[in-house]
């Protein structure tokens, strides 16, 4: 008998989704209850995940097709917390657009379920199932504001491109299956060896598909459009939660089935990383819409995360995970600020709308200042440490070129972050924005900003948690 | 463990800033806000004086060391002072209260935010001079960019945005290579603790590249020719207090970095790259002195003179002679006082006339004599007249240079003459001559606070000019030890 306790979080969250669907059908005006219930469900799932799996080093289930290890449990917790926070700060935005419906939390829960399956997958089929579950939910979420043309367009674009990348991924999976005769990661790892040249195609297809999902250059084209068109809260969800799951899968693929083929993929990852860092930094300079700018900045941040993965060392993987965790906090804070730019039921998302914000909203501007300098990687803020760990791992492997290119592109990136700060602090002020924000929004902004600001006092804790993850 | 005096020095201004942050930001509260900031910085100054008194001058090792685990098994929060760094700490804590007093006239809006920025800046600057771990040093070194960027950008002049960006990006670009070098040192030597690194040394085959990476950061910050172009822009646009901090202390971080890290950690590379430094320093001295002669904007002239003076400093450091390095340190301290004073004197007339152009003025001596006398002291100190602190520094540097390289010393001496030329010419055009501009007749002489600030600066300039012993006493042993260590390292390689 399998130890089903290990997949209790997934079981619980699936049951909650089904229950919510039934509730939504039979009860009228149920959106508020369903919102609260889904928050509650995520909380319980998080607790279960911590209780049941956090102490487990490595165990497999269902013919070794599902793996519970330290990485999967940590990443699940980050995913769940991220999802929880997104949901909690969404409601006032959704109410403004009159799309405060029961589907929203249900879809978010289902995509989280898909991500949890992805994170735990140790088998090509399980992985693909999880991926599709999260993708389908995300397509719908992108078009969620269906009365707006932009939102529908974003959803369609996302659907077409993502389906294409899923196709590539599937093709890669079938090639790998053909060579190894199994869909199980551990067995593939033993069967594959670098003599088979066609195998490189399989790896490339899979990496391309995954690069699509995390929007690494040159497979990033969908990100700016989708980020701009989707409702802001959904964009927030896009920028943080699926990235965590995709990164985990990336790590899993590279370091379990493809571990013996390092020569084949290391250059690809280095290329993806360098291209993303440079492109993300350069392309963001010309943007005028904050959400598009965030899209490009998230592309360059993904570049740094990949730099950690390219090192083929445990330190590298750990630094990537630290990077993505800090990145989640920074993005959450940034979007909380963005959601506060509201005036008479209208949200503002052009960079020029921030003009002179510091005169009328000194506290909000101060938060933005901290967040933007942190995103730019200026010490002593958290964003600096994220980069610092990555480059420490990169330099351990003597990959000087990667490190120097990465650090130089931080200077380019600093330019556009500075430009926003300039607009906030040095330019003429505009009309005041509303200041009656929901308590949760204020809470999430305050707590994440304080975390970014004071991270330097206790940097060891995060490292301690992450350093338990040893993949290789 | 004793009382963590250095950490409290670093933290106190930040605590003051936090306190200000929670006070009411109303116009009528401005006086209270200023007193709080002033009180904090004066307490900090007193602590640093106590530090100087209780500092043991006869031993060369670091004192008041605090060593705490910061990132498990990787970085320790380690601070400590030796004879070299203690002087810079005192310079910082001495200049900051004067800056705070001087904001009276120059900063009109958002006084509270301005003082918060200044106090946080003070924390970072003291941190730079105490840090005994490369990562901690880098952290403070870079963090200073944030408040300075805001000071220039929010309270600056008309081209403030351009200058703030240029300042920030130039320095950041210089510094990222240093970060690569610091992490590489960790992987090469297994530690970033400066004291340990002094003992074990760094493998010779890496030294050249590492030295260049550090150099790229310090050269921008010093600033050395040809990467000095951010400085005139930043100085001209920054508000007076910002210019003062920039000239008096920020530039000294790089000079201090050269002594502490470039010389201390990479002796072989320092020896190798000395000609490079000599050439760049001499160019800086001659070239920027000539540019200074041409300036029509007073602040710009003083900014270029800063570049020339810092050229002397880098020249002195890399003579690798006792006199040269001691001279450089004294020159940095003296330049800290003199340039701060000069920017403040320009600030005084700028607040009244709203013009920095030399041609606006002329004949000031007949209307504001007190001002003219103090201005004269500072101008003479800047050109290195005997009896002022500027003389001691330049004289020692040139002495060290003559010992090491005759030609370089001769060319640098020409710089001294040029320095006298542009300073005296500036003074002549502003203070002497006929009073042509009618508006100048109504100009008021120094008010009490201005008089106080400028006299505070004039006193040490003259005192150390006649009696530099307290300074030399403090640094002597540390510098001798540094050179000893350098020579033994060279001999063993």
- Does the predicted model carry a pTM greater than 0.90? yes
Mean pLDDT on B182-206? 86
Q: Are A180 and A192 in contact (CB under 8 A)?
A: yes
Q: Which of A379, A391, A421 sits opposite B139 (nearest CB)?
A: A379
Q: What is the DSSP string of B236-274?
A: HHS-HHHHHHIIIIIHHHHHHHIIIIIIHH-HHHHHHHH
Q: Is the pLDDT of residue A394 over 60?
A: yes
Please check whether residue A62 lies inside any domain of the structure: no
Please check whether residue A295 lies inside any domain of the structure: yes
Burial tier of A29 (Cβ tally within 10 Å: 0-12, 13-18, 19+)? exposed
Q: Give the per-residue pLDDT at B28.
A: 65
Q: Give the per-residue pLDDT at A469.
A: 82
How far off is chain A from B32, nearest CA to CA, in Å? 20
- Using the beta-carbon criterion (under 8 Å), do B161 and A392 form an inter-chain contact? no
Confidence of residue B138 (pLDDT cuts 50, 70, 90): very high
Helix (H), strand (E) at residue B76: strand B75-81
Give B117's contacts in chain A (Cβ within 8 Å): none
A306-318 confidence digits (pLDDT tens): 999 888 888 899 9
- What range does the domain containing B335 cover? 272-493
Q: Give the per-residue pLDDT at B106.
A: 67
Chosen from B72, B176, B182 to mutate, greatest number of chain A CBs within 10 A: B176
Mean pLDDT on B211-229? 88
How far off is chain A from B456, nearest CA to CA, in Å? 34
Please check whether residue A270 lies inside any domain of the structure: yes
Which one has a higher pLDDT value, B104 or A218?
A218
Nearest residue of chain A to residue B156 (CA atoms): A426
Mean pLDDT on B105-121? 82
A221-250 confidence digits (pLDDT tens): 888 989 988 888 899 998 889 889 999 998
Please check whether residue B401 lies inside any domain of the structure: yes
Q: Give the per-residue pLDDT at A8.
A: 86
How far off is chain B from A302, nearest CA to CA, in Å? 20
A414-440 confidence digits (pLDDT tens): 998 999 998 888 888 888 888 888 888
- What proportion of chain A, given as a percentage, has pLDDT over 90? 28
Which residue in B325, B231, B327, B236 sits closest to B284, CA to CA? B231
Confidence of residue A319 (pLDDT cuts 50, 70, 90): very high
Please check whether residue B426 lies inside any domain of the structure: yes
- What proportion of chain A, given as a percentage, has pLDDT over 70? 99
A21-51 confidence digits (pLDDT tens): 898 888 878 888 888 888 999 999 898 888 8
Tokens of B100: 């705070």
Domain total in chain B: 1
Please check whether residue B193 lies inside any domain of the structure: no
Q: Give the per-residue pLDDT at A329.
A: 92
Residue linked to tokens 């020692």: B396
Please check whether residue A28 lies inside any domain of the structure: no
B240 vs B251: CA distance, rounded Å:
16
A242-275 confidence digits (pLDDT tens): 889 999 998 988 888 888 788 888 888 999 999 9
Answer whether A95 touches B (CB < 8 Å). Answer: no
- What proportion of chain B, given as a percentage, has pLDDT over 90? 12
Please check whether residue A272 lies inside any domain of the structure: yes
Q: Are B445 and B365 in contact (CB under 8 A)?
A: no
Mean pLDDT on A351-367? 86
Answer whether B160 touches A (CB < 8 Å). Answer: yes
Nearest residue of chain B to residue A460 (CA atoms): B71
Q: Is the pLDDT of residue B1 over 60?
A: no
Give A318's contacts in chain B (Cβ within 8 Å): none
Please check whether residue A257 lies inside any domain of the structure: no
Please check whether residue A65 lies inside any domain of the structure: no
Look at A54-63, A248-257, B76-85 and tell me which has the smallest mean pLDDT.
Answer: A54-63
User: How many residues are given for chain A?
Assistant: 472
Nearest residue of chain B to residue A395 (CA atoms): B184
How far off is chain B from A396, nearest CA to CA, in Å? 6
Helix (H), strand (E) at residue A223: helix A222-229
- What range does the domain containing A293 cover? 262-472
Confidence of residue B25 (pLDDT cuts 50, 70, 90): low
How far off is chain B from A423, nearest CA to CA, in Å? 10
Nearest residue of chain B to residue A412 (CA atoms): B169
Nearest residue of chain A to residue B74 (CA atoms): A460
Please check whether residue A219 lies inside any domain of the structure: no
Phi, psi of A109 (to 5 degrees): -60, -40
B307-355 confidence digits (pLDDT tens): 999 998 998 988 888 888 999 999 999 999 999 999 988 888 888 888 8
Which residue in B120, B98, B122, B117 sits closest to B155, CA to CA? B117
Confidence of residue B105 (pLDDT cuts 50, 70, 90): low
Mean pLDDT on A50-71? 83
Q: Give the per-residue pLDDT at B27.
A: 65
Answer whether A401 touches B (CB < 8 Å). Answer: no
- Mean pLDDT across chain B, nearest whole number? 86
Q: Give the per-residue pLDDT at B226.
A: 84
Q: What is the DSSP string of B429-493?
A: HHHSS----GGGGG-----HHHHHHHHHHHHHHHHHHH--HHHHHHHHHHHHHHHHHHHHHHHH-
- What proportion of chain B, given as a percentage, has pLDDT over 70? 98
Mean pLDDT on B103-121? 82
Which A residues 30-69 touch B at CB under 8 Å? none
Mean pLDDT on A350-375? 88
A154 vs A396: CA distance, rounded Å:
41
Please check whether residue B225 lies inside any domain of the structure: no
A145-185 confidence digits (pLDDT tens): 888 888 888 889 999 999 999 999 999 999 888 888 888 88
Domain total in chain A: 1
Residue linked to tokens 């002796």: B267
């Amino acid at each position: 008998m399998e130890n089903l306790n290990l997949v209790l979080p997934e079981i619980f969250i699936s049951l909650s989704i089904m229950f919510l669907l039934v509730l939504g059908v039979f009860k009228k005006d149920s959106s508020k209850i369903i919102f609260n219930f889904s928050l509650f469900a995520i909380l319980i799932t998080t607790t279960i995940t911590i209780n049941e799996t956090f102490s487990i080093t490595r165990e497999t289930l269902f013919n070794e097709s599902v793996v519970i290890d330290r990485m999967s449990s940590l990443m699940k917790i980050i995913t769940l917390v991220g999802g929880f926070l997104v949901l909690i700060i969404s409601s006032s935005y959704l109410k403004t657009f009159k799309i405060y419906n029961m589907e929203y939390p249900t879809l978010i829960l289902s995509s989280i379920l898909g991500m949890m399956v992805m994170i735990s997958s140790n088998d090509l089929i399980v992985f693909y199932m999880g991926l599709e579950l999260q993708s389908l939910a995300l397509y719908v979420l992108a078009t969620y504001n269906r009365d707006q043309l932009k939102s529908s367009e974003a959803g369609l674009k996302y659907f077409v491109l993502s389906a294409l990348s899923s196709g590539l991924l599937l093709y890669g999976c079938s090639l790998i299956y053909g060579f190894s005769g199994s869909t199980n990661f551990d067995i593939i790892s033993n069967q594959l060896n670098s003599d088979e040249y066609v195998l490189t195609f399989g790896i490339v297809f899979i990496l391309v598909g995954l690069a699509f999902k995390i929007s690494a250059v040159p497979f990033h084209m969908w990100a700016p459009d989708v980020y701009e068109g989707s409702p802001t809260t959904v964009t927030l969800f896009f920028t943080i939660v699926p990235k965590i799951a995709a990164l985990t899968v990336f790590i899993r693929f590279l370091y379990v089935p493809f571990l013996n083929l390092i020569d084949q993929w290391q250059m690809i990852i280095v290329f993806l990383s360098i291209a993303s860092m440079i492109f993300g930094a350069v392309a963001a300079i010309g943007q005028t819409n904050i959400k598009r700018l965030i899209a490009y900045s998230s592309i360059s941040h993904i570049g740094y995360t990949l730099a950690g993965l390219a090192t083929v060392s445990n330190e590298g993987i750990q630094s990537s995970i630290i990077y993505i965790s800090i990145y989640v906090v920074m993005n959450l804070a940034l979007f909380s600020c963005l959601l506060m730019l509201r005036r008479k039921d209208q949200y503002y998302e052009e960079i020029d709308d921030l003009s002179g914000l510091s005169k009328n909203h000194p506290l909000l501007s101060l938060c933005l200042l901290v967040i933007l300098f942190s995103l730019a990687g200026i010490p002593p803020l958290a964003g600096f440490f994220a980069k610092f760990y990555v480059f420490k791992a990169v330099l351990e492997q003597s990959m000087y070129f990667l490190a120097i290119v990465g650090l130089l592109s931080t200077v380019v990136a600093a330019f556009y972050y500075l430009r926003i700060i300039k607009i906030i602090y040095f330019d003429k002020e505009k009309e005041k924005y509303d200041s009656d924000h929901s308590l949760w929004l204020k809470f999430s902004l305050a707590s994440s900003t304080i975390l970014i600001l004071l991270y330097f006092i206790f940097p060891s804790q995060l490292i301690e948690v992450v350093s338990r993850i040893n993949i290789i | 463990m004793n009382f963590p005096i250095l950490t409290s020095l670093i933290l106190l201004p930040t605590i003051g800033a936090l306190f200000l942050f929670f006070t009411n930001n109303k116009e009528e509260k401005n006086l209270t806000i200023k007193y709080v900031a002033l009180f904090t910085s004066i307490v900090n100054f007193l602590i640093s004086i106590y530090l100087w008194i209780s500092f043991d001058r006869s031993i060369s090792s670091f004192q008041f060391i605090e060593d705490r685990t910061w990132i498990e098994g990787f970085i320790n929060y380690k601070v400590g002072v030796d004879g070299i760094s203690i002087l810079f700490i005192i310079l910082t804590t001495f200049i900051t209260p004067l800056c705070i007093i001087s904001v009276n006239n120059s900063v009109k809006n958002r006084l509270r935010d301005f003082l918060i920025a200044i106090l946080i800046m003070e924390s970072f600057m003291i941190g730079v001079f105490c840090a005994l771990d490369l990562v901690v040093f880098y952290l403070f070194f870079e963090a200073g960019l944030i408040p300075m960027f805001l000071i220039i950008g929010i309270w600056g002049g008309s081209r403030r945005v351009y200058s703030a960006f240029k300042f920030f990006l130039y320095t950041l670009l210089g510094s990222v290579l240093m970060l690569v070098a610091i992490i590489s040192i960790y992987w090469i030597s297994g530690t970033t603790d400066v004291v340990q690194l002094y003992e074990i040394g760094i493998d010779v085959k890496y030294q050249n590249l590492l030295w260049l990476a550090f150099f790229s950061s310090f050269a921008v910050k010093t600033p050395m020719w040809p990467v000095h172009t951010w400085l005139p822009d930043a100085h001209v646009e920054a508000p007076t207090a910002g210019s003062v901090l920039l000239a008096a202390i920020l530039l000294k971080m790089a000079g201090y970095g050269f002594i502490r890290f470039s010389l201390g950690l990479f002796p072989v590379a320092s020896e190798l790259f000395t000609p490079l430094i000599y050439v760049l320093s001499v160019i800086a001295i001659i070239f920027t002195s000539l540019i200074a002669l041409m300036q029509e904007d007073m602040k710009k002239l003083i900014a270029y003179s800063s570049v020339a003076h810092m050229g002397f400093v880098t020249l002195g450091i890399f003579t690798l002679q006792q006199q040269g390095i001691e001279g450089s340190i004294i020159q940095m301290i003296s330049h800290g006082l003199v340039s701060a004073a000069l920017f403040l004197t320009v600030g005084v007339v700028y607040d009244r006339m709203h013009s920095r152009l030399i041609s606006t003025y002329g004949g000031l001596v007949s209307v504001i004599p007190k001002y003219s006398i103090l201005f004269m002291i500072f101008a003479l100190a800047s050109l290195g007249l005997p009896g002022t602190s500027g003389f001691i520094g330049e004289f020692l540097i040139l002495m060290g240079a003559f010992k090491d390289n005759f030609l370089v010393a001769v060319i640098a001496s020409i710089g001294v003459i040029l320095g006298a030329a542009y300073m005296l010419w500036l003074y002549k055009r502003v203070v002497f001559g006929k009073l042509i501009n009618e508006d100048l007749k109504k100009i008021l002489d120094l008010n009490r606070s201005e008089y106080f600030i400028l006299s505070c600066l004039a006193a040490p300039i003259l005192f150390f000019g006649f009696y530099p012993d307290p300074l030399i006493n403090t640094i002597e042993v540390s510098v001798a030890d540094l050179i000893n260590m350098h020579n033994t390292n060279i001999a063993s390689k």
